[in-house]
Amino acid sequence: MSAQATEITPAPTAKGGALRRKLPGSLAWHIGSLLILAVILYPVIWVVGGSFKNSDDIVGSLDLFPSDPIISNYTRLSEGIADIPISTFFLNSLTLAVGSVIGILVSCSLTAYAFAKIKFAGRNLLFTLMIGTLLLPYHVLLIPQYVLFRNMDMINTNTPLLLPKYLATEAFFVFLMVQFMRNLPRELDEAARLDGCGHFRIYWSIVLPLSRPALITSAIFTFINAWNDFMGPLIYLNDPEKYTVSLGLKMFVDQDAVANYGGMIAMSLVALLPVLAFFLAFQRYLIDGMATSGLKG
Amino acid sequence: MHQDKNVERRTVLKAAGASLAVAGLGATATACGGGSGSGDGTVTIRYAWWGAEDRAERIKKTIALFEKKYPKIKVKTDFQVYPDFWKKFNTQASGGNPPDVFQNAIGFLRKYDAKNVLLDLNAQVEAGNLSLDGFRAGLEKFGEVDGKLLGVPVGSNSMALVIDKPVYTKSGVKPEQGWTWDDFDAAMKKIRDKAGRAGDSGMYGVMYLYDLYLRQNGKAFFTEDGLGFTEADLKEWWTKAEKGIKQGIYADPKKVAQTKPKSAVAAELAAGEFTWDNFTVRYTSEGKSEYGLAPIPTTDGKKTGQYLGSLMLSASKRTQHPKEVAQFINFMVHEPEVAKIMGYDRGVPATQAQYDAFKPTDPVNKAIAEYEESLVAAGVLEPITPHPNGADICEAGFMRIAEELALGKRSVDDAVKQFFTESKTALGS
Amino acid sequence: MGTAVTHAPAMEDLTQDSEPRHRPAKSPRPAALKRRGRRETLAGYLFMSPWIAGFLLLTAGPMVASLYFAFTDYNLFDAPQWIGLDNFSEMFADPRWQNSVKVTLWYVAVGTPIKLIAALGVALLLAQKRRGQAFYRAAFYAPSLIGASVSIAIVWKAIFSDDAVVDRTQKLFGIDVGGWTGDPDLIIYSLVALTVWQFGAPMVIFLAGLKQVPRELYEAAEVDGAGTFRRFWNITLPMISPVLFFNVLLETIHSFQIFSSAYIVGGGAGGNACGPADGSMVYTCYLYVQGFENSRMGLASAMAWVLLVAVALVTAVLFWSQKRWVHYEEGA
Residue C62 falls inside a structural domain: no
DSSP state of B187: H
**What are the residue ranges spanned by the domains of chain A?**
15-76, 79-294
What is the pLDDT at residue C268? 53
SS3 A187: helix
pLDDT band for A109, please (50, 70, 90 cuts). Answer: very high
Count of alpha carbons within 13 angstroms of residue B151, beta-carbon side: 28
CB nearest C218 (choices: A8, A113, A119): A8
Burial of A237 (0-12, 13-18, 19+ CB in 10 A): buried
CA distance A117 to A181: 8
Q: Is A162 in the C-facing interface, judged by CB distances under 8 Å? A: no
**Secondary structure (DSSP) of A138-175:** THHHHHHHHHHHHHTT-TTSSHHHHHHHHTT--HHHHH
Beta carbons of B375 and B87 less than 8 angstroms apart = no
Residues of C in contact with A253 (CB under 8 A): 154, 264, 267-268
Mutual angle of helices B82-94 and A245-255, in 10-degree steps: 130
Q: Is C90 in the B-facing interface, judged by CB distances under 8 Å? A: yes
DSSP state of B180: B
| Nearest Cα residue in chain C from B428 | C73
State how beta strands C81-82 and C72-73 pair.
antiparallel
Distance from CA of A225 to the nearest CA of C (A): 5
CA distance B200 to B274: 8
- Which domain covers residue C110, as residue numbers? 86-325
Q: Which of residues 10-49 of A touch C (CB under 8 A)?
A: 10-11, 13, 26, 29-30, 32-33, 36-37, 39-41, 43-44, 46-47
Residue C214 falls inside a structural domain: yes
Residue C46 falls inside a structural domain: no
CB nearest C137 (choices: A126, A221, A287): A287
Which residues, including other chains, have CB under 8 Å from residue A261's CB and lie 6 or more apart? A55, A56, A58, A59
Number of residue pairs across A and C with CB atoms under 8 Å? 352
Residues of C in contact with A143 (CB under 8 A): 66, 69, 291, 297, 300-301, 304
CA distance B314 to B106: 11
Query: pLDDT in tens for each of the 332 residues of chain C?
Result: 334 443 434 433 443 444 444 444 455 567 777 777 888 889 999 999 999 999 999 999 999 999 999 999 998 888 999 999 999 999 999 999 999 999 999 999 999 999 999 999 999 999 887 888 889 999 999 999 999 899 999 999 989 988 888 888 888 888 888 888 888 899 999 999 999 999 999 999 999 999 888 888 888 888 888 888 888 888 899 999 999 999 999 999 999 999 999 999 987 544 566 888 889 999 999 999 899 888 899 999 999 999 999 999 999 999 999 888 888 765 43
Report CA-CA distances (Å) from B31 to B46, B162, B325: 20, 55, 20
Residues of B in contact with C276 (CB under 8 A): 253-254, 257, 403, 407
- Beta-bridged to residue B261, according to DSSP, are none
How large is the C-alpha radius of gyration of chain B? 23
CA distance A229 to A250: 12
What is the pLDDT at residue A4? 37
What is the pLDDT at residue B8? 41
What average pLDDT does the segment A199-219 reach?
A: 92
| Nearest Cα residue in chain B from C79 | B94
Residues of A in contact with C77 (CB under 8 A): none
SS (H, E, C) C252-305: HHHHHCCCHHHHHHCCCCCCCCCCHHHCCCCHHHHHHHHHHHCCCHHHHHHHHH
CA distance C325 to C331: 18
Residues of B in contact with C295 (CB under 8 A): 90, 94
Q: Is C95 in the B-facing interface, judged by CB distances under 8 Å? A: yes
Which residues, including other chains, have CB under 8 Å from residue C178's CB and lie 6 or more apart? B252, B254, B255, C162, C167
Which residues, including other chains, have CB under 8 Å from residue C9's CB and lie 6 or more apart? A175, A176, A179, A293, A294, A296, A297, C246
Beta carbons of A178 and A112 less than 8 angstroms apart = yes
Contact A172 C231 (CB under 8 A): no
Contact A291 C129 (CB under 8 A): no
CA end-to-end span of chain A: 16
Element (H, E) at B163: strand B152-164
ipTM of the complex: 0.86
Contact A167 C58 (CB under 8 A): yes
pLDDT tens per residue, range B208-223? 999 999 999 999 999 8
pLDDT band for A293, please (50, 70, 90 cuts). Answer: low
DSSP state of A235: H
Beta carbons of C140 and A279 less than 8 angstroms apart = no
Q: Is the peptide bond before A66 cis (omega within 30 degrees of 0)?
A: no
Residues of A in contact with C259 (CB under 8 A): 230-231
Task: List the chains bordering chain B where 3 or more Cβ pairs fall under 8 Å.
Answer: A, C
Q: What is the number of other CB atoms lying within 10 angstroms of the CB of residue B194? A: 13
Q: Is C328 in the B-facing interface, judged by CB distances under 8 Å? A: no
What is the pLDDT at residue A160? 96
CA distance A125 to C63: 18
CA torsion sign for A31, A32, A36, A37 is: negative
Q: What is the number of other CB atoms lying within 10 angstroms of the CB of residue C110? A: 17
What is the pLDDT at residue C212? 87
What is the pLDDT at residue C229? 87
Q: What single-letter amino acid sits at B191?
A: I
CA distance A159 to A180: 30
What domain count does chain C have? Answer: 1
Question: What's the whole-model pTM score?
Answer: 0.86
Residues of A in contact with B95 (CB under 8 A): 150, 153, 155
Beta carbons of B55 and B169 less than 8 angstroms apart = no
CA distance B257 to B310: 27
Low-confidence ranges of chain B (pLDDT < 50): 1-37
Residue C76 falls inside a structural domain: no
CATH number of the structural domain spanning residue C297 = 1.10.3720.10
Q: Is B396 in the C-facing interface, judged by CB distances under 8 Å? A: yes
Q: Is A216 in the C-facing interface, judged by CB distances under 8 Å? A: no
Beta carbons of B150 and B118 less than 8 angstroms apart = yes
CA distance B297 to B180: 5
Beta carbons of B97 and A150 less than 8 angstroms apart = no
Residue C1 falls inside a structural domain: no
Element (H, E) at A130: helix A123-135
Q: Is C278 in the B-facing interface, judged by CB distances under 8 Å? A: yes
Longest distance between any two alpha carbons in chain C, whole Å:
85
Count of alpha carbons within 13 angstroms of residue A263, beta-carbon side: 23
CATH of domain A79-294: 1.10.3720.10
Beta carbons of B258 and C182 less than 8 angstroms apart = yes
Q: Pick from B255, C161, C178: which is nearest to A61 by CA? A: C161
Q: Which of residues 89-148 of B touch C (CB under 8 A)?
A: 90-91, 93-95, 115-117
Q: Return the minimum-mean-pLDDT range out of A30-39, A160-169, A257-266, B289-298.
A: A257-266
Beta carbons of A257 and B261 less than 8 angstroms apart = yes
What is the pLDDT at residue C85? 96
CB nearest A169 (choices: C43, C58, C142): C58
CB nearest A255 (choices: B52, B57, B286): B52
The full set of domains in chain B, from first to last, is 5-155+310-369 (3.40.190.10), 158-307+378-427 (3.40.190.10)
How does B283-295 read in b/e, with b if 16+ C-beta sit within 10 Å?
A: bbebbebbbbbbb
CA distance B223 to B390: 12
Mutation for testing the A interface, residue in C33, C58, C67 having most A CBs under 10 Å: C58
Distance from CA of A82 to the nearest CA of C (A): 18
CA distance B211 to C68: 40
Distance from CA of C190 to the nearest CA of A (A): 13
CA distance C130 to B177: 77
